[in-house]
Amino acid sequence: MGDTVLCREGYGSSRVKKNYVSTNDGQLVVVDRSPTGTSVSHFFRSVFLPQGYPESVSQDYLEYQIWDTIQAFASSITGTLAAQAVLKGVGVGDENATVLAATMTWILKDGTGMLGRIVFTWLRGSSLDCNSKRWRLFADILNDLAIFIEILAPNFKSIFTPLVCTAGVCKSIVGVAGGATRAALTQHQARRNNMADVSAKDGSQETLVNLAALLCNLALIPLVTGRQTLIWFLYVIFTCLHLYANYSAVKCVVMETMNQSRLNLIVKDLLDSSHIPSIQQTNQSEPVVFSKLLCNSAKDLKELLLIYKENPYLLGLNLKQGEIYIALSEGSGTADQLQSCYQAEVINYVYENLYKNKTLHSSLSPIVRALEAGDVQGTLTASLAYTNSTIEAFRQGMLQQGWALDPVLLNANEWRARWDSDGVTDKKDF
């Protein structure tokens, strides 16, 4: 009798294979059936990639990480150039410089950075989840600006400290925005409740990149010291690479969650072609620079209460300023947030196309007539009727395309109102 294979074992979708064989003499032997070189690649995969890759992460993971690696390398190079400039500015190598002056400059730089971190988190912390792509790109642009200021600062001795403090504030904002959006992207990439593993392996990848950049910097710094033209040339080259890599990184991310930008694109495509676009198509079209979205305001409250008295939200319109404002009730939920923003996008679509001689669907005619007449109340009533008649089909179409409708990242704050069905409102709740 020959050897008998009792069990075959494989590591996920990789080519690492093992057979457990029973020999003629009753021994159990493990036979490695992996192709040549697989063990080495398996080692590096296990060190730098999440367990279960690629099934355990989103489809955009690899492309994003490649661009992220490139941008991290470029940022490390320019960061070293900036560090050298700051050290020169505080007096390293200058016999006339004092330890006290250098220490005070460093303390002021760190202190203003801490204050900047607190203020930025207070002002913008709640919007980082909703627009993670935009804030990620914003953080990297601001990081390049901070590096520019630090390289420039030693040339202006009289205002060196204010300049490095400004750079410190910029870098503190980068830390908050970059860290928060990295967490949001990690949550998107982790598909097996493995956020910790994805985050840890991302840290390992970044450490490896920084080590590679460190070796380059060891060779680069002696060559550029004292040569300002070469320093600025390298800064421009690596900054352009850094920005391009970051733009490519955020553009390749395909998120299934709903935010205002993606909702805007979906509603436009739906009303143009009666078709809900795919997740991939919408993400490719999503802008990654800041644009004006819905605004908050409060006008003609009594009229709004009459129109929306049975609804869990109020939606108002200011035609003169082109603003839409929404107030949510105490009992409103995720579905109500989506519906209110859907109605706002319908009004916005009709408003944008009103004078473009574009033929709109007949179901939008009441909204068109009201807007042409400047009738705000009529516009709100007609758009609410249209929303109520189409919202369920809209939700079902979204689900069929694979969109996640809970949670929705529409940047709703914590203010909530309460009104009775007869339109009477307790003023203390506003």
Contacts 24+ apart (CB under 8 A), 217-226: 217/76, 217/77, 217/80, 220/77, 220/80, 221/80, 221/84, 224/81, 224/84, 225/84
Angle CA(213)–CA(219)–CA(221) in degrees, nearest 5? 90
Q: DSSP assignment of 5-18, as one string?
A: EEEEEE-TTSS-EE
Strands 404-409 and 257-259: what pairing? Answer: parallel
- pLDDT band with cut points at 50, 70 and 90 for residue 300: low
Most confident region among 6-20, 274-288, 355-369 by mean pLDDT: 274-288
- pLDDT band with cut points at 50, 70 and 90 for residue 423: low
Tokens representing residue 182 in the block: 């990295």
- pLDDT band with cut points at 50, 70 and 90 for residue 292: very low
Given this structure, which CATH class describes domain 61-253?
mainly alpha
The predicted pLDDT at position 93 comes to 63
The predicted pLDDT at position 256 comes to 93
pLDDT (tens digit per residue) in 102-152: 888 889 999 999 999 999 999 888 888 888 999 999 999 999 999 999 999
pLDDT (tens digit per residue) in 30-89: 887 777 666 777 788 889 999 988 889 999 999 999 999 999 999 999 999 999 999 888
**Could you state, in order of their start, the residue ranges of all structural domains in the chain?**
4-48, 61-253, 260-429
357 has pLDDT over 50: yes
- pLDDT band with cut points at 50, 70 and 90 for residue 297: very low
For the ranges 17-26, 181-190, 398-407, the lowest mean pLDDT is seen at 17-26
